[in-house]
Amino acid sequence: MKSFCVIGLGRFGSSVVLSLVKNGHEVVAIDTDAKKIDDYKDIATHVMIADATDERVLKNVEIDKFDGVVVAIGKNVQASILTTMIVIEAGAKNVVAKATTDVQIKVLTKIGADKIIQPEKDAGERVADNLAHPDISEYLDLSDDYSFAKIVVKNIKFNGLTLFQANLTQDYHVNVAFVKKADGSASIGKHNTKIVLDDVLYVVGTKADIEKFSEII
């Protein structure tokens, strides 16, 4: 179990709180809006009606002691930037900030936020990726260039081959990290791991290589 602080209970922040609580973590939720705090008083571990731009508030909750802090204030750009700054200056770890504009992203990056989320934009990109490449069921960006994706084996040419025989790293510049079988069994990607039709491959590579690979596998 880990402990997190979520500042701002808008659509994004409240969904983060619900997921963290569902996964068994401790969550302190802060919002200026008494109605929102009331809605979450029985869900979060601890709630506070407070203005997070007030340094004393974040000092009082010992913001540096959490495993992660989510600044989920989007629309009020000034409050989002000021809060993120105070949180980082107070020594908080794993600071995730929500942004709604490109300028906000620039400033939050400069301030040193560990991760910046643009929920609508990120969801839009995922939908677009999925429409363009329905064979890739999930993408996770590892860096600007590299991604991790889930792809199902559909080409009979690969049926029954070991990963060594399939020669995917040499021929397609992707690495298979993990293979999940239709019967539920699974294994990490080793030289002698056999792949058959309908296996789900978890591959690492550049986005371009993964897209090419998804068309032939």
Query: Which residues of this chain interact with ligand ADP, rule CB under 6 A?
Result: 7-13, 30-33, 36, 51-53, 72-76, 79, 83
Q: Angle at CA 82, nearest 5°, toward 140 and 74?
A: 45
**For ligand ADP, the closer CB: 17 or 136:** 17
Instruction: Please tell me the number of Cα atoms within 13 Å of 192 on its side-chain side.
Output: 0
- Nearest distance, CB of residue 29 and ligand ADP, angstroms: 10
Closest residue to ligand ADP in the complex (CB): 10
Q: Are 210 and 169 in contact (CB under 8 A)?
A: no
The residue assigned the tokens 């401790």 is 26
**For ligand ADP, the closer CB: 77 or 200:** 77
Rounded Cα distance between 217 and 206, Å, is: 16
- Nearest distance, CB of residue 151 and ligand ADP, angstroms: 32
- Nearest distance, CB of residue 214 and ligand ADP, angstroms: 32
Which residues does 110 contact at the CB level (< 8 Å), separation at least 6?
A: none
Burial class (CB in 10 A: 0-12, 13-18, 19+), 19: exposed
User: How is residue 74 annotated by DSSP?
Assistant: -
Sheet strands (E) in the chain: 3-7, 26-31, 46-49, 68-71, 95-98, 115-117, 136-141, 146-152, 161-162, 175-180, 186-188, 194-195, 200-206
Rounded Cα distance between 152 and 138, Å, is: 11
- Nearest distance, CB of residue 119 and ligand ADP, angstroms: 7
- Nearest distance, CB of residue 38 and ligand ADP, angstroms: 12
**For ligand ADP, the closer CB: 53 or 84:** 53
**For ligand ADP, the closer CB: 36 or 189:** 36
**For ligand ADP, the closer CB: 10 or 26:** 10
**For ligand ADP, the closer CB: 5 or 153:** 5
- Nearest distance, CB of residue 11 and ligand ADP, angstroms: 4
